[in-house]
C-alpha cells in the first residue's frame, strides 16, 4: 500500500529529533518509493527544526519533474527530469548525507553527488516529515516504503532497496524507522519497528503500491 497526498494540506509528522550524531559526524540515509502526480515542488521525506535551515535535510521534487536533495539552504537537482505531468510511475528515491559528501539515487542509480563541508546538528532536526516540510512544500502524489537510517548506505544497498528488498534487511542495526504506509505488516502511519509512529494530518488516503517488497 501507499499513502496518497493531495499536495495542499496532507502530511505525516513526528515532532521529535529521531536522528543522532554530531554536526561533524552525522551519517544519514533517507529512502522512499514515490509516485508524483504532477510536476511540482513537494517534499518526499525529511527533517527540520520547524523554521529556518538548522537541521534541515530532505528529498523532494522540483516543478521541472526532477528529484532533488536538500541540505540546509542548498540543494542539488537531477541533471534531467525523471517524470512528466500526469505521471503514473513509482520511483525509488534515496539520499545519503554526511558532512563532507552527499549523493542522490533514483531507481537505484546515482544521479548526482557533491563533495563539500556542511554541518547539520541532528538535535535541531526536531520535526520529521513525510509529505511536506516547514516551508509548506506539500507532496502531490503517492508515498510508500519510507525509511531513515543513521548510516550511509552503499550504492549496492540502495540498488537492493530499489529492487524491492525490504529496509529491514539493509543495515537493520542502523535503521531508525521504517514506514511501509499500510500493507501486511503495519497499519497506516506506524513505524514497523514500533519506535516512531507518525501522526497523519488531514487524512491522506491509501493507494495500491504495485512494487513487491520482500518480505
Contact 59, 44 (CB under 8 A): yes
pLDDT band at 30 (very low <50, low <70, confident <90, very high): very high
Q: What is the pLDDT of residue 211?
A: 72
The residue-averaged pLDDT of 180-196 equals: 84
The phi and psi torsions of 157 (rounded to 5 degrees) equal: -65, -40
| Alpha helix ranges (H) inside the chain | 155-162
pLDDT at res. 186:
62
Strands (E) in 91-214, as ranges, are 91-98, 101-106, 109-115, 127-130, 140-149, 175-179, 199-201, 205-207
Q: How far apart are CA 50 and CA 52, in angstroms?
A: 7
94-131 pLDDT, tens digit per residue, is 999 999 999 999 999 999 999 999 999 999 999 999 99
- In the predicted structure, residue 185 carries a pLDDT above the cut 70: no
Amino acid at each position: 500500500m501507499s499513502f496518497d497526498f493531495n499536495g495542499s494540506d496532507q502530511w505525516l509528522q513526528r515532532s521529535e529529533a529521531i536522528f543522532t550524531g554530531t554536526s561533524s559526524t552525522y551519517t544519514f540515509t533517507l529512502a522512499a518509493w514515490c509516485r508524483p502526480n504532477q510536476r511540482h515542488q513537494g517534499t518526499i521525506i525529511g527533517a527540520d527544526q520547524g523554521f529556518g535551515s538548522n537541521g534541515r535535510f530532505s528529498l523532494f521534487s522540483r516543478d521541472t519533474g526532477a528529484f532533488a536533495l536538500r541540505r540546509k539552504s542548498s540543494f542539488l537537482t537531477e541533471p534531467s527530469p525523471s517524470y512528466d505531468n500526469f505521471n503514473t510511475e513509482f520511483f525509488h528515491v534515496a539520499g545519503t548525507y554526511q558532512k563532507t559528501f552527499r549523493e542522490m539515487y533514483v531507481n537505484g542509480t546515482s544521479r548526482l553527488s557533491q563533495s563539500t563541508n556542511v554541518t547539520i546538528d541532528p538535535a535541531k532536526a526536531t520535526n520529521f516529515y513525510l509529505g511536506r516540510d516547514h516551508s509548506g512544500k506539500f507532496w502531490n502524489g503517492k508515498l510508500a516504503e519510507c525509511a531513515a537510517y543513521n548510516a550511509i548506505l552503499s550504492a549496492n544497498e540502495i540498488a537492493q532497496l530499489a529492487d524491492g528488498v525490504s529496509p529491514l534487511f539493509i543495515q537493520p542495526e542502523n535503521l531508525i524507522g521504517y514506514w511501509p504506509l499500510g500493507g501486511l505488516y503495519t497499519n497506516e502511519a506506524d513505524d514497523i519497528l514500533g519506535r516512531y509512529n507518525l501522526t497523519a494530518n488531514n487524512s491522506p488516503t491509501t493507494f495500491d503500491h504495485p512494487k513487491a517488497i520482500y518480505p
